Structure 1
Amino acid sequence: MYAPRALFSMLVVLVVFAISTYLLYGSFWSTVLQTILCAIILQVGYFLAVVFLVRREHALRQADPDDATAVSRSRETNRSEEAHPASAPSLKVGDR
């Protein structure tokens, strides 16, 4: 989960929720209260999702520690290859 994207998405959801609540009920204070409640529910859901992802990763590493280090090393290798792509193989060009 990319935090700025999640926060922006949550803000968009809250704005849409606030607009629709105001159109349904016509009360400013009811809209504010329900939007705050919606924001709390979204934050709790986001927190639980992050806890779930961390616990799942921890369980995977505990299940097979050698495999987890191999996976993390391959991720680092892929990142370094992306940052510094391998140059094309040198070919010898000559007359026939």
Structure 2
Amino acid sequence: MSFPKFLVGMLGVLIAFAVTTYMMTHSFWMTVIQTLICAVVIQIGYFGAILFLVMREKSRNAGKQVSSSGDEASQEPSQPFNTSATKTP
């Protein structure tokens, strides 16, 4: 999920949460505090999900490299960028 989609979704959830909290508590300050806590929890969840996806992709790529060559010792280390500085003669 792209960040702009996440941001729009998060703002929608926070607005709905704030309205619901205000209707239940009738306290502006309690609504603000609980909505900020909710925003932090959502951000932590988003960070954890992105971290999980990156780690999963990294392990998939490592598995593909090992299975494609069969021999780990003969495999050259992969270069992150294909530039003239990283090319071997």
**d(CA) in 1 for partners of 2:47 and 2:64?**
26
| Correspondences of 1:1-96 after superposition (within 5 Å) | 1-65=1-65
**d(CA) in 1 for partners of 2:6 and 2:29?**
27
- Percent identity reads 44
Aligned residues: 68
**d(CA) in 1 for partners of 2:42 and 2:21?**
16
The TM-score with structure 1 as length reference comes to: 0.67
Where has structure 1 moved over 3 Å in runs of 4 or more? none
What's the CA shift for 1:61?
0.3
What's the CA shift for 1:8?
0.4
Structure exhibiting the larger radius of gyration computed from Cα positions: 1
Per the alignment, residue 76 of structure 2 pairs with none
Unaligned runs of 5+ residues in structure 1 are 69-96
> More helix by proportion, 1 or 2?
1
The TM-score with structure 2 as length reference comes to: 0.72
Q: Alpha carbon RMSD of aligned pairs, Å? A: 1.6
**Residues 17 and 56 from structure 1, CA distance in 2 versus in 1: closer, same or farther, beyond 3 angstroms?**
same
